[in-house]
Homo-oligomer: A and B are copies of this chain.
């Protein structure tokens, strides 16, 4: 896996992981690229191409061994490791992330939430404590944190990002509605824009109507 992997393939990887996990749960141990393609609404050749990017685990006339391929993709995604997280912002999105049931199973452990609102500080969300954002730096000096989840209003996002960077945090999962960037590739940032997917739905509804 030393060669270049395109963004498009990376973007599809979690989908492979999801479908293979579902297949394994259904007791399916073997699948052809044709069957996997039908399930994922992709052509068999797209499936083979994608999977070949990571070394090619298929066997001629057999297809893929589901648990094996799932494990490979799990490792490729880094999901065989444990990650610690903090969530900045204990509002509705921060709380939704804190409640997401699969994250702990997948090794993502939320150590704390942070908020500026006195009514939230001192409470817990899904059993995780909400700390004062003023204590962010002292917390980070005492705890190893791999990922910061940014769920703050857009006005606060850049300032918090700078504070996290100054503390050595180098991975951000950003829900604030702006594109944060990893300056000089020092930070790894994934920006999530919830409303983008609603806009795509709106586009598809309109397109359907006019055809």
Q: Which of B91, B196, B206 contacts A14, CB < 8 Å?
A: B196
- A163 in the interface (beta carbon within 8 A): no
Cβ A18 vs Cβ B193 within 8 A: yes
Q: A11 CA to B83 CA in the complex, in Å?
A: 29
Copies in the complex: 2
Interface residues of A in 9-50 (CB under 8 A from B): 10-11, 13-15, 17-19, 22, 41
Determine whether the beta carbon of B96 is less than 8 Å from that of A199. Answer: no
- When the two chains form their complex, are residues B102 and A91 in contact, meaning their CB atoms are under 8 A apart? no
Given A171-B201, A198-B173, A199-B79, do A14 and B147 touch, yes or no (CB 8 Å)? Answer: no
Minimum CB distance partner of A107 in chain B:
B202
Nearest-neighbour CB distance to chain B for A69, whole angstroms, equals 16
Question: Is A139 located at the chain interface by the 8 A CB criterion?
Answer: no
Once A205-B171, A208-B188 are accepted as A-B contacts, the answer to whether A177 and B102 lie under 8 Å apart by CB is yes
Report chain B residues within 8 Å CB of A77.
Answer: 199, 202-203, 206
With an 8 Å Cβ cutoff, the count of chain A residues facing the other chain is 57
**A146 on the B face (CB < 8 A):** yes
- In the complex, the answer to whether A194 meets B92 with C-beta atoms within 8 Å is no
Q: Which of A147-195 contact B (CB under 8 A)?
A: 147, 171, 173, 177-179, 181, 185, 188, 190, 192-195
What 8 A-B pairs are tightest by C-beta distance, nearest first? A78-B206, A14-B196, A92-B96, A14-B199, A78-B202, A190-B201, A92-B99, A96-B96
Given pairs A78-B205, A102-B195, 6 additional interface contacts (CB within 8 A): A15-B193, A22-B178, A76-B206, A91-B99, A108-B198, A173-B201
